[in-house]
């Protein structure tokens, strides 16, 4: 018996298409509502900035995501692991929001005895993981300190030193707290010398260091790379007699040091070490790390 095929049999397909079009229209309307797209983008940006994975439309990292040594490989390259020396070295790490919550117990068991934690950047950013990282390292027995990523194009050195001290960068005479560090290196957000002349950069660094000492009673450590120091300060040698040097070089030896320093206090030798990536060697046994903490 022939089957009667009327328009009734095609109605489900037509109805489904109508429902799909209605759904798409509703979705488009939702995305155009005030604040909808903005809220989604803001949430994504907050997550990325906190973990150090953020990026902007021009390919530059989001402000606040800078960390020690992020320009080393690009500008200076990378070689083999450090050579064995007769000088005792004490293993340490540096961390920022890039690492998130750190497994300090595993680091301690592996032989890491000291740590530096990013506290601030410029005059606008505080590490959201600072508490877990700074207190966590201390609680497992490490000697720890805080560092500031300097952005000389944003404000005076004194302004950023005060911001640093006010937000975790202070020092206490407990034998377990290292003096603060000024991380001064390539600008990840723009011109590598932050638009400063060489003399202007030296003046900015001096302003930071002078203010930090006035606030804490300690001379801050300077973290830098020799090639950046030469380009952006003219290889100024006036800080070496007072401020300890933390050199960044991912190779078999520390290589040439900036003018004014005959020896480094610390050496960041890799960004791909166990557990957290950034590993360092203190130039001496643990008692020398303790001596720096005591002042």
Catalytic residue among 62, 76, 183, 278: 183
Residue 205 CB burial class (10 angstroms; 0-12, 13-18, ≥19):
buried
Could you give the C-alpha distances from 264 to 108, 252, 295, in angstroms and in order? 24, 15, 17
Of 202, 263, 279, nearest to 233 (Cα)? 202
- Residue 175 DSSP one-character state: S
Helix, strand, coil % (nearest 5) of the chain? 40, 15, 45
Spatial neighbors of 12 by CB under 8 A, at least 6 apart, are: none
* Interatomic CA distance for residues 133 and 144, integer angstroms: 10
* Interatomic CA distance for residues 211 and 275, integer angstroms: 35
* Interatomic CA distance for residues 9 and 73, integer angstroms: 67
The yes-or-no answer on residue 94 being catalytic is yes
Spatial neighbors of 283 by CB under 8 A, at least 6 apart, are: 87, 89, 263, 264, 265, 266, 267
Half-sphere exposure in the Cβ direction for 101 (13 Å, CA): 1
Catalytic residue among 94, 121, 219, 278: 94
Catalytic residue among 62, 76, 121, 185: 185
**Buried-exposed string 247-256: b where 16+ CB fall within 10 A, e elsewhere:** bbbbbeebee
Helix residue ranges per DSSP H, the chain = 11-32, 36-51, 72-76, 104-110, 130-139, 157-164, 198-216, 226-233, 286-294
The yes-or-no answer on residue 183 being catalytic is yes
Q: Which residues are catalytic?
A: 94, 183, 185
């Amino acid at each position: 018996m022939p089957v009667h095929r009327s328009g009734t049999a095609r109605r489900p397909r037509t109805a489904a298409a109508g429902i799909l079009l209605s759904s798409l229209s509703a979705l488009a309307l939702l995305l155009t509502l005030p604040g909808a797209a903005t809220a989604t983008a803001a949430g994504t940006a907050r997550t990325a900035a906190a973990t150090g994975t953020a990026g902007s439309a021009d390919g530059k990292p989001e402000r606040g995501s800078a960390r020690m040594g992020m320009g080393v490989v690009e500008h200076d390259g990378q070689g083999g692991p450090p050579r064995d020396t007769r000088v005792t070295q004490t293993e340490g790490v540096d961390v920022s929001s890039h690492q998130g919550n750190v497994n300090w117990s595993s680091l301690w068991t592996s032989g890491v005895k000291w740590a530096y934690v990013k506290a601030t950047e410029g005059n606008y950013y505080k590490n959201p993981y600072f508490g877990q990282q700074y207190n966590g390292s201390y609680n497992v027995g490490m000697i720890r300190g805080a560092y500031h990523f300097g952005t000389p194009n944003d404000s005076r050195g004194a302004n950023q030193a005060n911001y640093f001290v006010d937000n975790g960068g202070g020092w206490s005479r407990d034998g377990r707290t290292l003096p603060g560090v000024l991380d001064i290196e390539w600008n990840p957000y723009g011109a590598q010398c932050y638009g400063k002349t060489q003399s202007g950069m030296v003046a900015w660094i001096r302003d930071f260091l002078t203010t930090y000492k006035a606030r804490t009673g300690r001379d801050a450590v300077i973290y830098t790379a020799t090639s950046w120091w030469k380009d952006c300060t003219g290889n100024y040698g006036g800080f070496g007699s007072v401020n300890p040097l933390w050199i960044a070089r991912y190779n078999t030896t520390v290589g040439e040091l900036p003018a004014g320093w005959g020896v480094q206090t610390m050496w960041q030798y890799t960004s791909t070490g166990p557990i957290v990536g950034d590993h360092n060697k203190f130039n001496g046994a643990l008692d020398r790390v303790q001596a720096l903490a005591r002042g």
